[in-house]
Structure 1
Amino acid sequence: MSSPSPLAQSASPGDVPSDEALEAALRRYAAQNLKLEVRIANLQSDLNYSIRLTKLKALNKKFRIPTVRKAPAIEVARQAIIDKVVMDITQQNCLNYFKTLLQQEGIMIPRFPGNKKSPIPRTALNACGPFHEISSDGHEKLGKQALDMGDIGLPIYGYKDKWSDEIPLMNFVPNSRTAAAIGHLFLDFIEMTMDKGSEIGWQYVIQDTIRATFAPDIDPEVYAICRLIKSVHNTIIEAFWRWLKEKLGRNLKEFILIGKTERIFSADIDFHVSLFYWIFIPLLQAKLDEFRLWWNHHRVRVQQEKNMPSGHVPADAFAHPENYGGIDCRIAVPQAAVDDMRQMLTDEVGSRESHLSWYDLEFAELAAQVYSHIGKPTLSLETAWDVFQQMAQPIADVIEL
């Protein structure tokens, strides 16, 4: 006998959550564009609050939760879309990309039923739930060779959950190919499936040590500690990089190359590299975080033959695996153990700052002083090179003293 839909279950609310907790949860579900039955199930999971569809609609009305059925005025919607589209210099993104971004700002715009892009080819995959397997890899499309700006390089390193499609972590790093740097990004994950690259060394050691200590009953012959595979077979995350390149990477590259094409940046001036990183890394990481948020909140296409969730929102499957037939595969690791591993890694290869910092502390202090001296102008990707020019001469004057 099939189980009844959450919409048909009788309500037994128990302790009613506070208005603040309810509103926060409902706005989070709206930002993820979850179906109504999923929102009802999540209220039960997150707040132990069981309701039916009528009550959910009443709560949405009470807290003015945005919906596509009550879209903003056409002028507001048009301007919101224009503000996003003007940043899409290479015009690589579809309307649904901007629609999902605007959801995070509480602006719900109805779907436009246009042509869909070709889906990414995928092979049959299997996993039990979140953190059963995590794929990791580095992305070099904004590296030194791609930018051709001297020592400027912007590699990205990311982790992707196989079962849910969630991206738990994705950062710009000074070097995505050293074991020490990537070792300091690790310490968070259970099962690793990653590229066969030189950067995996310390990740393997940390994973092996933590699992042997806190999950000794897991047979490494059945559930491998780490699998080293070539990029062409690491489809979980390799296919994802194409989305990053098309949706974000090309636009970021255009903004970065302005400094080269307009001769603002000189690879022959040493402090130009540090100044570039001081200005651009926070801005670029913010855009990367925005893209990661979009990915985790977009709806994955339906695949009837898939043995794992499909047609779902990655962030929801990651947070509520029980609603999708999965199990949470995380293993509790005390913070003290993580701290011990961090100290061990620091003793062996150096501190996190020494491997993941883009410039030294002395330059950071100088740049902050100069930025304050010129009046702290607004920093964005559109103004970044203007601010670079305003700061370059004062810094040069100090360095030449």
Structure 2
Amino acid sequence: MPNPTGKNGYGEKIVPSDEALEAALRRYAAQNLKLEVRIANLQSDLNYSIRLTKLKALNKKFRIPTVRKAPAIEVARQAIIDKVVMDITQQNGPNYFKTLLQQEGIMIPRDTVRQIMREHFPLGFENRFPGNKKSPIPRTALNACGPFHEISSDGHEKLGKQALDMGDIGLPIYGYKDKWSDEIPLMNFVPNSRTAAAIGHLFLDFIEFTGAAPRATFAPDIDPEVYAICRLIKSVHNTIIEAFWRWLKEKLGRNLKEFILIGKTERIFSADIDFHVSLFYWIFIPLLQAKLDEFRLWWNHHCVRTQQEKNMPSGHVPADAFTHPENYGGIDCRIAVPQAAVDDMRQMLTDEVGSRESHLSWYDLEFAELAAQVYSHIGKPRLSLETAWDVFQQMVQPIADVIEL
């Protein structure tokens, strides 16, 4: 039967422009999609329905790169070397570089990439071999002359926001540990253990609490080129105090966490109510800090195990070695710092970054006064970790009534 219109039973097909087709096909090539997936994507992206033969014709027309038509071996070799030479640690394998190159329109079979990498970068394959152990961190015997020769400090986030999952509630800990004696001179809960301002004020607390510091102004005879004033090191190298955090977690941290989480599991605490956070801190921080001080006292008074080959004291009580280093063959390296100097440094730091209260306070003064009044109004019930959430519940409504006025 004649068909003067030239239309078949499939209706009129809308063909995308060459620019749109080429852009889509090059994008699919960069993603290394299978041919059937490219056909499906053309239908989804451009409403263009074709079959395999047509797709191959389009690839040929637009010169879409393919691994079957890889560049000359020397071109491929140089392209691969240019990429791999930037991988100094040799942690990435052939698949990684094959994918990188195809983003630039350079399609090279994986076997070719692997072969060239084998020829020019053989050590990378040995490093990445499954089961190959990475070089361990070198460990050496610890050495120090006496108390305050080296003080290690670090933050502990096992009771932080992510660990508790109670909204804005976070209880970071920051501590200082003497290398020679194992003494913990100071360890506090802090609102933030990551900002320089907070740690600056806390360091002045440490100097004020111990009455000493390592050193610059009050020991100018010590050459900082030989004995550095301070060093910033990775956690894996800060073993003096990092090893201590395990003891804190096992002896105290897990118990404290269980007490804290009662408020969440029994739905006493609501992260959506702003004053709940301040009230939590007002009630819990003194209790938690008291437990932390108790643990610090235990640590400083417990007997360290004996190690015959240790270069520093062992089989000793940290507090005694810290106080009487001469009895253990040590030298007292602490440098006395007068209170007036601490006050001057505190003022300098306050002028630069703000007051201590602005960085180390858990709640504002106005809320502290309100909480104290409400606590007095309900009869000042006994506060302990066992009763803390009961007191919290008693104080919630009176505080809410005042805030809503």
When normalised by structure 2's length, the TM-score is: 0.64
Give per-residue Cα distances to partners, 1:140-169, cap 9 Å, x unaligned.
Answer: 000000000000000000000000000000
Give per-residue Cα distances to partners, 1:252-291, cap 9 Å, x unaligned.
Answer: 0000000000000000000000000000000000000000
Deviation at 1:397, TM superposition (A): 0.4
Alpha-carbon distance in 2 for matches of 1:49, 1:346: 68
User: 1:222 and 2:226 equivalent?
Assistant: yes
Alignment check: 8 A CA contact 1:174 1:356 kept = yes
| Cα distance change of structure 1 residues 338 and 89 upon mapping to structure 2, 3 Å threshold | farther
Alignment check: 8 A CA contact 2:207 2:342 kept = no
User: 1:159 and 2:159 equivalent?
Assistant: no
* Residue matched to 1:75: 74
Give per-residue Cα distances to partners, 1:190-214, cap 9 Å, x unaligned.
Answer: 9999xxxxxxxxxxxxxxxxx3321
Moved more, 137-146 or 330-339: 330-339
Work out which of the residue numbers 118, 135, 158 in structure 2 matches 1:141. 158
**Identity percentage of aligned residues:** 97
| Cα distance change of structure 1 residues 283 and 96 upon mapping to structure 2, 3 Å threshold | farther
| Cα distance change of structure 1 residues 112 and 161 upon mapping to structure 2, 3 Å threshold | farther
Deviation at 1:131, TM superposition (A): 0.4
| Cα distance change of structure 1 residues 101 and 171 upon mapping to structure 2, 3 Å threshold | farther
Deviation at 1:221, TM superposition (A): 1.4
Alpha-carbon distance in 2 for matches of 1:124, 1:269: 52
Alignment check: 8 A CA contact 1:92 1:247 kept = no
Give per-residue Cα distances to partners, 1:3-44, cap 9 Å, x unaligned.
Answer: x9999999xxxxx99999999999999999999999999999
Give per-residue Cα distances to partners, 1:43-90, cap 9 Å, x unaligned.
Answer: 999999999999999999999999999999999999999999999999
| Cα distance change of structure 1 residues 217 and 306 upon mapping to structure 2, 3 Å threshold | same
Moved >4 Å (runs of 4+): 4-10, 16-123, 188-193
SS in 2 for 1:152: coil
When normalised by structure 1's length, the TM-score is: 0.64
| Cα distance change of structure 1 residues 395 and 46 upon mapping to structure 2, 3 Å threshold | farther
| Cα distance change of structure 1 residues 188 and 359 upon mapping to structure 2, 3 Å threshold | closer
Deviation at 1:187, TM superposition (A): 3.1
SS in 2 for 1:113: coil
| Cα distance change of structure 1 residues 164 and 217 upon mapping to structure 2, 3 Å threshold | same
Alignment check: 8 A CA contact 1:159 1:170 kept = yes
Alpha-carbon distance in 2 for matches of 1:233, 1:125: 12
**How many pairs does the alignment contain?**
376
Larger Rg: 2
Alpha-carbon distance in 2 for matches of 1:138, 1:132: 21
Deviation at 1:136, TM superposition (A): 0.1
Alignment check: 8 A CA contact 1:367 1:395 kept = yes
| Cα distance change of structure 1 residues 240 and 279 upon mapping to structure 2, 3 Å threshold | same
Moved more, 219-228 or 281-290: 219-228
Deviation at 1:248, TM superposition (A): 0.2
| Cα distance change of structure 1 residues 336 and 373 upon mapping to structure 2, 3 Å threshold | same
SS in 2 for 1:88: coil
User: 1:363 and 2:367 equivalent?
Assistant: yes
Structure 2 residues not aligned, in runs of 5+: 9-14, 110-127
Alignment check: 8 A CA contact 2:176 2:187 kept = yes
| Cα distance change of structure 1 residues 175 and 79 upon mapping to structure 2, 3 Å threshold | farther
Structure 1 residues not aligned, in runs of 5+: 11-15, 194-210
Deviation at 1:336, TM superposition (A): 1.4
Alignment check: 8 A CA contact 1:95 1:112 kept = no
| Cα distance change of structure 1 residues 119 and 229 upon mapping to structure 2, 3 Å threshold | closer
Give per-residue Cα distances to partners, 1:72-128, cap 9 Å, x unaligned.
Answer: 999999999999999999999999999999999999999999999999998510000
Alpha-carbon distance in 2 for matches of 1:9, 1:336: 98
Give per-residue Cα distances to partners, 1:355-389, cap 9 Å, x unaligned.
Answer: 10000000000000000000000000000000000
